[in-house]
Amino acid sequence: MKNYAKTSVAAGPRAELHDALGLTGAEVSVNELPAGASVPFVHAHKQNEEIYGILAGAGYAVLDGEKVELKAGDWIRVAPAVKRQFFAAAAEGIKYICIQVKAGSLQQYTAGDAIL
């Protein structure tokens, strides 16, 4: 059995990587919304914060009623209780990655977790 997993994400509206990679500490999804489209629901979380990275295009998020403009290269962290919904710009779509992890669970990172 290998100690790593690899998958490929094809073009499409949403790809969830939890099962495909056997993730044990996070959920990761790659999402695409065409121009003028939106995630069809508002949601929040009980425990998990989300980190969004905008890979291409533009749009905005409504976070607890505040409109936050987003473009390729932007990253945003959203606390669990924040009510959120994402929208593509009227003139272009948006492609983004969403990383979902339990808030407050990170104990070590980068070099602090490395074994050299």
What is the pLDDT confidence band of residue 1, given thresholds at 50, 70 and 90? Answer: low
With respect to residue 58, please indicate whether it lies within any of the assigned structural domains. yes
pTM of this structure: 0.88
Q: Of 34 and 5, which is predicted with more confidence? A: 34
Residue 13 banded pLDDT, cuts 50, 70, 90: confident
Would residue 38 count as lying in a domain? yes
* pLDDT of the residue at 101: 95
Q: Is 98 or 104 the better-scoring residue by pLDDT? A: 98
63 token code pair: 């976070």
Q: Residue 88 falls within a domain, yes or no?
A: yes
Does position 17 have pLDDT exceeding 70, yes or no?
A: yes
Tell me the CA distances in angstroms from 73 to 1, 41, 57, 79, 112, one per residue in order.
36, 24, 9, 20, 26
Average pLDDT, the chain: 93
Tell me the residue range of the domain where 37 lies. 16-104
Q: How confident is the model at residue 110 (pLDDT cuts 50, 70, 90)?
A: confident
Q: How many CB atoms lie within 10 A of CB 49?
A: 19
In a domain? residue 87: yes
The CATH number covering residue 50 comes to 2.60.120.10
Domain for residue 114, yes or no?
no
The string of pLDDT tens digits covering residues 54-89 is 999 999 999 999 999 999 999 999 999 999 999 999
CB 32 within 8 A of CB 95: yes
